[in-house]
Amino acid sequence: MEFTLGQLAALLEGKVEGDDSQKVTRLDKIQEGKSGGISFLANEKYEPFLYETESTAVIVSEDFQPVKPFKTTLLRVKDAYLGFTKLLEAYAQLSKAMLVGVEEPSYMHQTSTIGENHYRGAFSYIGKNCQLGKNVKIHPQAFIGDNVKLGDNCIIHPGVKICADTQIGDNCEVFPGAVIGADGFGFAPQADGTYKAIPQIGNVILEDNVSIGSNTTIDCATLGSTIIRKGVKIDNQVQIAHNVIVGENTVIAAQTGISGSTEIGKNCVIAGKAGIVGHIKIADHTTIGANTGISKSIKKSGETHFGYMSMDMKDFLKSYALFKNLDKLEKRVKELEKKG
Amino acid sequence: MEFTLGQLAALLEGKVEGDDSQKVTRLDKIQEGKSGGISFLANEKYEPFLYETESTAVIVSEDFQPVKPFKTTLLRVKDAYLGFTKLLEAYAQLSKAMLVGVEEPSYMHQTSTIGENHYRGAFSYIGKNCQLGKNVKIHPQAFIGDNVKLGDNCIIHPGVKICADTQIGDNCEVFPGAVIGADGFGFAPQADGTYKAIPQIGNVILEDNVSIGSNTTIDCATLGSTIIRKGVKIDNQVQIAHNVIVGENTVIAAQTGISGSTEIGKNCVIAGKAGIVGHIKIADHTTIGANTGISKSIKKSGETHFGYMSMDMKDFLKSYALFKNLDKLEKRVKELEKKG
Amino acid sequence: MEFTLGQLAALLEGKVEGDDSQKVTRLDKIQEGKSGGISFLANEKYEPFLYETESTAVIVSEDFQPVKPFKTTLLRVKDAYLGFTKLLEAYAQLSKAMLVGVEEPSYMHQTSTIGENHYRGAFSYIGKNCQLGKNVKIHPQAFIGDNVKLGDNCIIHPGVKICADTQIGDNCEVFPGAVIGADGFGFAPQADGTYKAIPQIGNVILEDNVSIGSNTTIDCATLGSTIIRKGVKIDNQVQIAHNVIVGENTVIAAQTGISGSTEIGKNCVIAGKAGIVGHIKIADHTTIGANTGISKSIKKSGETHFGYMSMDMKDFLKSYALFKNLDKLEKRVKELEKKG
């Protein structure tokens, strides 16, 4: 995509101080700016780069006063950071909107329907009885099983697998390699030591505005639904087991695992690599630190938990500080024993 | 799939108390039952839902006596829970059996063979010299490399990658996105600080009745075979390194990692997020807790291990209880020192 | 591939003691050798297998003297281990070199180019404006997004997803299911508790000689580049967040996670399941143990860190030894208190 500085100034309600017919095709960091790119300067720490950058243009705030000569062209807006963010969003939206049409070969069963303005990439697969909304983008090699519902404006990235019976709301995005709705891990031990699979015939529901990271796996319910409520954002390589419910606007960072039938409250923040056992409830607004193991329900809203096994964060850090010097504590006890 | 209540009663050797020509297409939880679904009531805790459910039918046990009026139709069987389980299994088997035929485009090299009653989904790939058994289901976008053997009744889900030379027994199921038989992580350090790849030319063997979860990775052996013995069940996002052997009927939960050349015994239970170092042996019937690190061989059968570094579970919990209050212990020592 | 022992002797500058027209097609472990395979004997511990092996041939060193009769044919070389390694590498290179041509259906946009001697597997996808070097092997069902650059001799395995704008140097290998360059996890909290996606418009750069394991995910930068420097080797299921930089020749084992904007030095060794927080720097030549959490920058080169939260390895082990017996320490304190 190519824009003149004049076009960008119109978009951002700003003013070009120089030749507004210059073209840019890229957003750059100011310290790495190259010709053809546009950068921004919002933090004075980065001001020295303004006088050296090779970016074609730099977005600056109304009140910015240069103190040295420079080669780049200034695009002056009310607030440089907000202006750049607006540009970023416009760029991202344009990129998505431009993907329209069907690449061949692709597969969509005759019993399935898809709304207007859609994209279906080559080697994408859509099974039977699916209902896909408008502005839906199904990238190459994505898989949509039978009886899937997908709302408007959803983006299903390359190689995603959405298994049969999954229901997805509007404005959801699923990143490459994620698997939604495959069987949960349910096996009944038999008398002879073998295990027999318990059929997993439930589904997964993703409500509106859900984002699922690359190579994350969300299992279908044994019966009923595994539910990811609206506004939930899940990072890469997260594992969500069968019959879990994740509350509204909860955020889960990479490599976290949540075991079966656990209910996570709304507006929780779960850092990376956390592990949460099955069949418990986590209260709303809970914060769970990185690498933290949670083995019991958290009943009080708003707590911060941390550590190998579910402790209040401050308590854990206090204990860990002593753990680091446990040999010194042991020596003090030995000293006392000698005296005694 | 659609069945009349009469057909289901025949399957379950039960009796419909009402109109047996009513049709159901779905298995529902009783508390979420909707018209067109069939539920079950086995636990008296759920009895109140019977009087409110909109399920078309509910499976109940012989001796169940309703105490209030209800709208649903009862299907009375000897044991409601077993009856429902039977229905679940029949449903799951029917779903699988119905997948037959070849969707185009798909790719199978002319030197490969596949048995009767198979399914090959669109965009599935089968390389050279493969021998695939009967009733095999290769879902869309699955990859089968050269020289792979696959027994009868195997199900290879969408986007699974079975790399060259892998050997798989009968009745195995591999869930979406799993990678079986890619190179192990073997690099020889060189004098200049770089690393040189050590060719990984072994393979992976999955014996009969093995189940592999979504996005799990099992590396091929450097030389020889990485072996997953019969009846092993592996959950999602598990990592099994080169030359590992996992014994019969062992169960491994999500996000666990097992390093190279380790041998796991049979009938072990390994919980989620466990980590096991390389080149050790774990005895039969060992239980390993969630998030547990195992750094040494476990020689005695039947033990339960837990904690950051391989401890007896009771001992770990005892130490952790004191760890939680380590500041109090330190104060007691300080108190003694003052007195001293 | 089939070779006579005579051909192999020529390659290894060795001598066949017997019929050099015998053919082998496989490299075997000596203890598992079968007819048609060639093994090696480098460690005297394995000598007893020589007298029993069914391998067609065994590579031995110049000075090896058998003490019993045997059925196999000896291929005598200067150093048996080096000879076998040379054979392994030749085998691996031959396997790769043999993959040439295009399988249909596959997809490459007309604006993209690919060098001589390439392989494009069935159902592989190459987007717009890509420049792919020579000897590049794009396996079945691999995805290459728009504007990707890929150097010479790269191998992109089945089902890999290389997202738009990624730049990859020469001699890189990406294993099945890995995702390179999908969006980083960046969401700005809003006043009403919801989150708004921060556009991730940067890219990923893999320099020369990089290896990326199966189902690993490397996110694109928010702005600028996530950079994996030359010679880096990354195992399976590793998560690298946006704007991370990994220094030359660093090795990262399976299931490790590195959070956003962290810089890892060169020649570091990071064991499996480690977790490293965002926005820190790790010095060159750092060793990080398995399952270790790193929450602060490591400034001094050459240290070894271990434990739940970033400690010197020896200190952690000392503390953990006392932790294991924390109940005994507590009893000693109690004993002292009684006396006091």
Can you give the pLDDT at residue A313? 84
3-state secondary structure chain A: CCEEHHHHHHHHCCEEECCCCCEECEECCHHHCCCCEEEECCCHHHHHHHCCCCCCEEEEECCCCCCCCCCCEEEEECCHHHHHHHHHHHHHHHHHHCCCEECCCCEECCCCEECCCCEECCCCEECCCCEECCCCEECCCCEECCCCEECCCCEECCCCEECCCCEECCCCEECCCCEEEECCCCEEECCCCCEEECCCCCEEEECCCCEECCCCEEECCCCCEEEECCCCEECCCCEECCCCEECCCCEECCCCEECCCCEECCCCEECCCCEECCCCEECCCCEECCCCEECCCECCCCCEEECCCCEEHHHHHHHHHHHCCHHHHHHHHHHHHHHC
Of C125, C219, C332, the CB nearest to A123: C125
pLDDT at C340: 67
pLDDT tens digits, C19-69: 999 999 888 889 989 999 999 998 889 999 999 999 999 999 999 999 999
Give chain B's mean pLDDT: 94
Q: Are strands A113-114 and B167-168 parallel, antiparallel or unpaired?
A: unpaired
pLDDT at B156 (0 to 100): 98
pLDDT band for position B228 (cuts 50, 70, 90)? very high
Torsion of CA A145, A150, A153, A158, to 10 degrees: -20
Confidence band of B309 (pLDDT split at 50, 70, 90) = confident
Q: Are C314 and C296 in contact (CB under 8 A)?
A: no
How close, in Å, is residue B85 to chain A by CA atoms? 8
- Residue pLDDT, tens place only, B234-293: 999 999 999 999 999 999 999 999 999 999 999 999 999 999 999 999 999 999 999 999
Query: Does the bond joining B189 to the residue before it have cis omega, within 30 degrees of 0?
Result: no
pLDDT tens per residue across span B132-159: 999 999 999 999 999 999 999 999 999 9
Q: How many CB atoms lie within 10 A of CB B78?
A: 12
Chain A residues with beta carbon closer than 8 angstroms to that of B175:
179, 182-183
Residue contacts between B and C (CB atoms, under 8 Å): 163
Q: Decide if A218 contacts A236 (C-beta within 8 A).
A: no
pLDDT of residue A1: 66
Instruction: Quick: pLDDT tens for C178-232.
Output: 999 999 999 999 999 999 998 898 999 999 999 999 999 999 999 899 999 999 9
Q: What is the pLDDT of residue B1?
A: 66
- Dihedral, A251, A252, A253, A256 alpha carbons, nearest 10: 170
Task: Give residue-wise pLDDT tens across range C321-337.
Answer: 999 999 999 999 999 98
Which class is domain C160-309? Answer: mainly beta
Angstroms from C324 CA to nearest CA on chain A: 11
Mutation site, B123, B170, B216, interface A, largest A CB count within 10 A: B123
Confidence of residue C84 (pLDDT cuts 50, 70, 90): confident
Taking a C-beta distance cutoff of 8 angstroms, is the pair B229, B211 a contact? no
Q: Which of A122, A249, A290 lies at the smallest CB-CB distance from C125?
A: A122
Q: Given an 8 Å threshold on Cβ–Cβ distance, is A177 in contact with B340?
A: no
- Using an 8 Å CB-CB cutoff, list chain B residues near C121: 125
- Secondary structure (3-state) at C306: strand
Domain segments of chain C as ranges? 3-97, 160-309, 310-340
> Which among A177, A197, A322 has the least Cβ separation from residue B177?
A177
DSSP-derived secondary structure letter, C199: P
* CB-CB neighbors (< 8 A) of C103 in chain B: 107
> Among all residues of chain A, which has the CA nearest to that of B253?
A185
In C, minimum Cα distance to B176 occurs at C177
SS (H, E, C) B105-169: CCEECCCCEECCCCEECCCCEECCCCEECCCCEECCCCEECCCCEECCCCEECCCCEECCCCEEC
User: Cis link prior to C105 (omega < 30° from 0)?
Assistant: yes
Of A20-29, C70-79, C239-248, the range with the lowest mean pLDDT is A20-29
Question: What is d(CA C257, CA C291) in angstroms, rounded to the nearest whole number?
Answer: 10
**Structure confidence at residue A77 (pLDDT):** 95
Contact call for residues C112 and C132 (beta carbons, < 8 A): yes
Mean pLDDT of chain C: 94
**Which residue in B29, B88, B176 is closest to A224 by CB distance?**
B29
Question: How far does A93 lie from chain C, in Å, by closest CA?
Answer: 9
Residue positions counted in chain A:
340
Q: What is the mean pLDDT of residues B174-186?
A: 97
C-alpha separations of B160 from A201, A236, C27, C121 in Å: 21, 18, 27, 16
Chain B residue at shortest CA distance from A307: B324
pLDDT above 90 covers a percentage of chain C that reads 82
Contact state of A177 with C161 under an 8 Å Cβ cutoff: yes
Which residue ranges of chain A lie beneath pLDDT 70? 1, 340
pLDDT of residue B94: 78
Q: Distance (Å, rounded) from C-alpha C135 to C-alpha C100? A: 8
How much is the pLDDT for A97? Answer: 72
Minimal C-alpha gap between B87 and chain C (Å): 36
CATH fold group of domain B3-97: 3.40.1390
Grouping H, G, I as helix, E, B as strand and the rest as coil, residue C96 is helix
Distance CA A310, CA A296 (A): 8
